[in-house]
Amino acid sequence: MAKKVIDSTGKATNEFAWTMVGVISSNLKSAGYKPATKTLRILFQNGGVYQYSPITREEYMSLIKAESVGKFFNENIKDNTDLTVVKEESK
């Protein structure tokens, strides 16, 4: 069942809530994963929110456990998956 979520603009959505895990990175702030859709959601330090797919659970776990989260993201995810912009970065 879909859970009602309020987005950053205050509008209600029917999107399933994301559980985000904070990461230590100068570029990424947190990451969440939905195994059913193999989708990774990233919240960047600049406020942008982007989704990447398909991502395996192993790739997600490797990302959040990486010694350098930003380096792992840039080398393994950024240009190797489909991108969906959820929210543009803050200006």
Give, to the nearest 10 degrees, the angle between helix 57-65 and helix 69-76.
Answer: 140
Instruction: Give yes or no for residue 13 having a pLDDT over 80.
Output: no
Q: Which backbone phi and psi does 59 adopt, to 5 degrees?
A: -65, -40
**pLDDT tens for each residue of 15-71:** 557 899 999 999 999 999 999 999 999 999 999 999 999 999 999 999 999 999 999
Starting at the edge strand found earlier in the chain, the sheet holding 21-22 runs 21-22, 28-34, 39-44, 49-53, 82-87
Residue 81: count of CB within 10 angstroms of its CB: 17
From the list 89, 74, 86, the residue with the least C-alpha distance to 25 is 74
